[in-house]
Amino acid sequence: MRTIDQSNYEEWIFEYYEGTLTAEEEVQVLDFVQRDSIYMEEFEAFSKTYLREPLPDKLSIESSLLRKGSYFNINYSIASFLFIIVSGLFFIKTSEEQSEVINASKELIVQEEYQEKEVVIKSSSIPKHKSIIPQLSRKERTEQSYMHNQNLYTDTGNTFIPSIDNEAHKANNDVIKIDYDSLPAEQPVIIKTERASVGTTKTIVKKTRQEKKEERRKQKQIARFKEKQRRNKEAQQLMKGNMPYVVPLDPNTF
C-alpha cells in the first residue's frame, strides 16, 4: 500500500486533483497537508493553478436540449400566430373586394333592366305617325293598305284608316303596309311608321314579360360565369404564392 511522505507529496496532490486516487488515498492527502502550513499552502496553490473539469452530466445535457426545444417551440408559436393574423386580414380584404364586384354587377344589371331604349326614326318633312293596334283575330290579321296622312289613324270598327281631312297630303299617295301576323297577340303594341316614298315601314314591338325575364336570366348567367372565372384565377394565383387576381369591372362586357 502506498503512503504519502515528504518526497512524494507533490505527486499525491497532483493525482488528487486529477481524480485518480481512491477515497482512502484522498483522506491521506488531506491529513498530510493539514500537518504543516507549508504543505497546506502548496495544496491551495495547486487548487488555484490546476483546473479540474467536471465530467459531463447527462441531466445537464438533456436540460440544455429541452431549453433549446422550448426556444424553438416559442418561435414557431409566434410565427404561426403572425401567419394566422395575416391570413385573416387577407381573407377579410378579399371578401370585401368580392362583395364590391358583385354589388357593382348587380347594380349594372338593374340599371340595364330599367333603362329605356329610344329609337330615332329619320323621315322627310312629313311628321311621323304612330297608332295603337288592338288585339285582332286571325281572320282580321291580313295585310291591308292605307293612305298615309299627317293625322293619327281613326277607328272605323274592325279596321283602322287614316283621316283624310288634310287635302294637301292626298296627292302624295303614300302607302303603308302592316304585317299583322308579326304582331304578338298578348297585348296591344305601338307601331311607328314613316312615308313609304322614303323607305320601308318601321315597326317597333314592345318586349313581352317572358322575353324580359329570359333576358335577365341570360345577364345573370353571364355575371355568374365571370365571377367563377375570377375565383378560379384568384385560386391559381394563391397556389403560386402571389396576390389574388381581381378581374376589373367593365360595364361594356355585360
pLDDT tens sequence across 107-129: 766 666 655 444 444 444 445 44
Q: 217, exposed or middle or buried, with CB in 10 Å at 0-12, 13-18, 19+?
A: exposed
Q: Which residues of the chain register pLDDT less than 50?
A: 55, 116-126, 128-178, 180, 185-198, 254
- pTM for the whole thing? 0.22
Residue-level pLDDT at 131: 43
Residue-level pLDDT at 47: 75
Residue-level pLDDT at 104: 72
Residue-level pLDDT at 222: 92
| Tens-place pLDDT, residues 59-98 | 565 666 666 555 555 666 777 778 888 888 888 888 787 7
Domain ranges of the chain: 9-49, 129-203, 210-253
Q: Which residues of 28-58 are buried (b: 16+ CB within 10 A; e: fewer)?
A: bbeebbeeeeebeeebeebeeeeeeeeeeee
Residue-level pLDDT at 2: 77
**Helix, strand or coil, per DSSP, at residue 221:** helix
